[in-house]
Amino acid sequence: MSRQLLHSATFVRAVRKVVEKDSRLAKGLIKTLMQLEEDAFHPSLRTHKLKGRLADRWACSAGYDLRVLFRFVVHEEVEAILLLTVGGHEEVY
């Protein structure tokens, strides 16, 4: 099921930071976002619901140590994905 991706300001800043740190990650991140938009539960993304203080959020893998945090939301009466942040495992959890 295809869903629209919505970018939070925090997500945009985090992407800039990640790409500035290592520009090679940009290609993989773009591929991950395209897959997330097409099928949020594709096995390659390893999508999982978070627990504890992040219980209302989901995460998927965008590479070895790169994670994308997001929430499922309703936008203009359809289900969408609000991208919250991206970064290394220790940065986003």
Q: In angstroms, what CA-CA distances link 20 with 23, 41, 71, 83?
A: 6, 28, 25, 19
Residue 1 has pLDDT above 80, yes or no: no
Q: What pLDDT does 50 receive?
A: 96
Residues paired with 73 in a beta bridge: 80
The band of 12, judged by pLDDT with boundaries at 50, 70 and 90, is very high
How far is the C-alpha of 66 from the C-alpha of 31, rounded, in Å?
13
State pLDDT tens for residues 39-80.
999 999 999 999 999 999 999 999 888 999 999 999 999 999
Domains and CATH numbers, the chain: 4-92 (3.30.2310.20)
- 38 — pLDDT class (breaks 50, 70, 90): very high
